């Protein structure tokens, strides 16, 4: 059975100037996910010469951001893909800045 995605509590009250986009619906609907996946399934073979950590930053696509926002301002998530001997481990965490904490009630 597939997991049910639930919108964030209070998301219906957000005032956003975002335009609805077909690519942000259904299975591509923005969600907030934090977690770890060990030994990610890989299609094909990763060469042994690829060894290290790839970091990725992403915006917080669940809640609107201030005008003139830069993705590097810390409103979003950081992902890490650790690649070693053909295996991949994955982690994703949201940046716990003041904006995030106030929205999450922390």
Quote the longest CA-to-CA distance of the chain: 49
Distance of CA 18 to the CA centre of its chain: 18
Q: Tokens 């919108």 map to which residue?
A: 7
Q: pLDDT tens digit string along 41-62?
A: 999 999 999 999 999 887 776 6
Strands 76-84 and 52-59: antiparallel
Q: pLDDT tens digit string along 4-42?
A: 556 566 666 666 655 555 556 666 666 677 899 999 999
Strand order in the sheet with 87-94: 35-37, 87-94, 76-84, 52-59
pTM (two decimals):
0.61
């Amino acid at each position: 059975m597939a997991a049910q995605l639930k919108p964030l509590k209070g998301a219906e009250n957000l005032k956003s100037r975002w335009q609805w986009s077909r690519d942000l619906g259904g299975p591509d609907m923005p969600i907030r996910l934090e977690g770890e996946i060990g030994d990610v399934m890989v299609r094909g073979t990763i060469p042994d010469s690829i060894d290290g950590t790839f970091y990725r930053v992403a915006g917080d696509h669940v809640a609107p951001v201030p005008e003139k926002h830069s993705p590097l301002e810390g409103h979003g998530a950081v992902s890490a893909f650790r690649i070693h001997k053909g295996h991949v481990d994955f982690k994703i965490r949201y940046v716990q800045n003041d904006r995030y904490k106030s929205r999450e009630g922390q």
